[in-house]
Every structure is written in C-alpha cells, then in structure tokens.
C-alpha cells in the first residue's frame, strides 16, 4: 500500500472532530489557520469559536475596529497575526467582494499568508494538489524516510518540499494534507511518539535505526535576549490609571500598557531606580511605590525572556502629573482595552481594578 493510502486510512479512524474540518468555507479555514499558527489546538479552539461567533463572515471582521480585534485576540500572542488577519479581511471584503483567491499562488499574496497557509487553504477548500509543510510534516517525513537534512536551511527545506509534493495524493490533497498533519500531532509526536502502534513501524528509518530522538534536525539555535521591564501603575480610588497605546513596531504594537522603565540588569530595580521613578515620572510628588509581586514575573516570548515588575502608587490628583499626561491618558475602564497577556494577568490579580 502506498504511503498516502496508508496515511489516509489511519486518518479516517483517528481524526479529531474539529469544527473547521466540517466546512470548505475559505473564510473559516483561513481563520482557523491563522489562529493555529504557533498555537496548539486546545489553546486556539476557544479563540476560533469566539472570532466566528463575533465575526461570522469576512465582512463582519472587516468592519470591526482593530482595537476590538486585538482585544478578542488578547492572550493568544504573536499579535501581528491579528493585525494581518484584520488587514486581509478588509482587503477581501472591500477589494474582492468577499471572495478568496482559489490558488496557492494567489493566496500567498494576502497579508499574513505564507506558503504553508496558502497550501492548506488551497487544498482544503479547492482541492488544489499542493502539499503542506509544517512542523508536524517535517517530523513525519524526516523520521519515516530518514531525511537527515536540516529543516531550517534553504537546501533542507527544498528537499522536504520536493518529497512532500511527491508523496501527495493528487486526487485527495485535502484528505492527505490533513492526514499527515494529524499524524504528526497525534501519532508521530515530538516526544514519546506511539511507535509500537504505528502503521509505518516496519519501514520507518528512524524507528529501525533508533534515531527517533535525533530527527528532524535543525541548524539554528535561537538566541534568547533578557529584558527587564518595570511598569509604573498609578491608581486612584476608582481604579483609574495612566496608560498609552504602543505605536512602535514589535509584537505589542497597538496594545495598551502602563508607563515603563527598562533595564538590562537583573537587579535593575534598586533603590536608586525607585528614586529615578519618583523624580522623573512622579514629578517629586509624595507617592510611595510598592512592588506588586515579591519578585519580577518571568514572561517568555519566542526570542526574548522578560522579567516584569509592577510598581503601584496610589494617587488622588492626576493633574499633578503634567509630564505623564502629555504621553499617557487616564484609563477609566481598563478591562475594555487590549493589553499584553502579562498585563492582563496583573489586572486580573489586582484588587485595584476588580472592586
């Protein structure tokens, strides 16, 4: 039996009942693919359902304000996905009358749609015979066929791309692509794969040669940079505080945050730094700052490790903070603003904003 046939047979028995598999609507498929980028299904599912409930069509999403989209996306991370999602929805609704392109080549021209996503939409919705290549597919192909080439180099990617396309069932590209991704997610997992009940056990190069833990191979190692951020949270008795929307490029662009100071040093929050906050940000006002957490909160991003502390200062008269008022505005209902997840957790844990 061909690899593709055996894979599709496995899929017909083991597939998960996921909502985006019950449709060929390109809007719903596109939405699911964007939500699930760098995200596990169990985490992304609630977001997909919330988005679909709030924006049942691409026209509904296009008409939304970006702040609303970011707020709904809050906690999912990689916020550029949400911004690209909104921009593409506006393009499809306004320029294409709600009609998505039907080929991978044209889909790749959409903002936020790379080769994998384009191939997924094209094959799932329009049955175009183009193979998908994601982390799950890399893992399955490298192990079953013993491909030692590095998956994060141009040469290695080309080898995997050619192999994936060669193995594709051109008559059932939708089923095949979903099957190989599901196989990687459920059977041929990164750790503790179910080799003893694998339909490819006898011919799997990695299994037969005790190479499961060695494949797939990668060349690059991401260098993680440490950053230390100190947020200044000035709160009055009504839970009002200073915040501003970030406009500079970065993963938190267009999200709201408190005034902050950054340090390259792990113990940057010292008595001296506290005094700097008092002099520069509090304008010599008599405000006592209290660290909200016993030690900074560690927040992991793809290329950065953040250590974040929140300093609380109770105030009665915001008009006294003239310099802050020029850069920040007073937020009265903080729960309606889209913020980074680390700030969302702080807000949820703080009595100042939940009374």
> CA-CA distances (angstroms) from residue 2 to 27, 128, 257?
33, 20, 55
Q: Judge whether 49 and 20 are in contact, CB under 8 Å.
A: no
User: What is the dihedral angle through the alpha carbons of 160, 166, 170, 174, rounded to the nearest 10 degrees?
Assistant: -20
Q: Judge whether 250 and 329 are in contact, CB under 8 Å.
A: no
| Total residue count of the chain as it appears in this document | 355
Annotated catalytic residue within 33, 150, 182, 257: 33
DSSP 203-271: T-HHHHTT-GGG-SB----PPPEEEEEEEEEEE-TTS-EEEEE--SSSTTTT-EE--EEEESSTT--SH
Burial of 263 (0-12, 13-18, 19+ CB in 10 A): middle
> CA-CA distances (angstroms) from residue 230 to 49, 274, 291?
35, 10, 10
Could you report how far apart the first and last alpha carbons of the chain are, in Å?
Answer: 65
| The two three-digit tokens of residue 254, written as one number | 């267009």
Q: Judge whether 215 and 143 are in contact, CB under 8 Å.
A: yes
Q: Judge whether 281 and 260 are in contact, CB under 8 Å.
A: no
Q: Judge whether 162 and 169 are in contact, CB under 8 Å.
A: no
Q: Which residue has the tokens 């596990």?
A: 40
Is 106 annotated as catalytic? no
**Cα 242 vs. chain centroid, distance in angstroms?**
27
* Catalytic (active-site) positions: 33
């Amino acid at each position: 039996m061909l690899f593709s046939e055996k894979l599709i047979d496995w899929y017909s028995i083991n597939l998960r009942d996921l909502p985006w598999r019950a449709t060929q609507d390109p809007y719903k498929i596109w939405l699911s693919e964007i939500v699930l980028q760098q995200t596990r299904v169990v985490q992304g599912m609630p977001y997909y359902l919330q988005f679909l409930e709030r924006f049942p069509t691409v026209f509904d999403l296009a008409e939304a304000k970006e702040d609303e989209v970011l707020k709904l996306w809050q906690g999912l991370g990689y916020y550029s996905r949400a911004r690209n999602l909104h921009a593409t929805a506006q393009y499809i609704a306004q320029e294409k009358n709600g009609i998505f392109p039907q080929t991978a080549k044209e889909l790749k021209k959409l903002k936020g749609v790379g080769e994998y996503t384009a191939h997924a939409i094209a094959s799932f919705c329009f049955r175009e015979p183009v193979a998908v290549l994601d982390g799950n597919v890399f893992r399955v192909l490298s192990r079953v066929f013993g491909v030692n080439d590095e998956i994060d180099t141009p040469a290695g990617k080309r080898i995997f791309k050619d192999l994936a396309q060669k193995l594709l069932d051109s008559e059932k590209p939708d089923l095949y692509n979903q099957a190989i991704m599901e196989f990687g997610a459920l059977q041929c997992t990164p750790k503790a794969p179910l080799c003893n009940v694998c339909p490819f056990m006898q011919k799997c190069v990695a299994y037969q040669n005790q190479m499961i833990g060695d494949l797939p191979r990668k060349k690059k190692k991401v260098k993680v940079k440490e950053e230390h951020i100190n947020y200044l949270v000035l709160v009055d008795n009504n839970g009002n505080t200073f915040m501003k929307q970030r406009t500079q490029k970065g993963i938190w662009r267009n999200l709201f945050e408190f005034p902050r100071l950054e340090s390259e040093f792990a113990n940057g929050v010292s008595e001296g730094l506290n005094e700097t906050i008092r002099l520069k940000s509090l304008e010599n006002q008599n405000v006592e700052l209290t660290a909200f957490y016993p030690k900074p909160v560690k927040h992991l991003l793809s290329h950065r490790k953040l250590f974040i502390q929140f300093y609380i200062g109770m105030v009665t008269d915001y008009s006294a903070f003239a310099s802050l008022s020029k850069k920040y505005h007073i937020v009265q209902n903080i729960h309606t603003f889209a913020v980074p997840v680390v700030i969302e957790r702080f807000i949820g844990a703080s009595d100042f904003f939940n009374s």
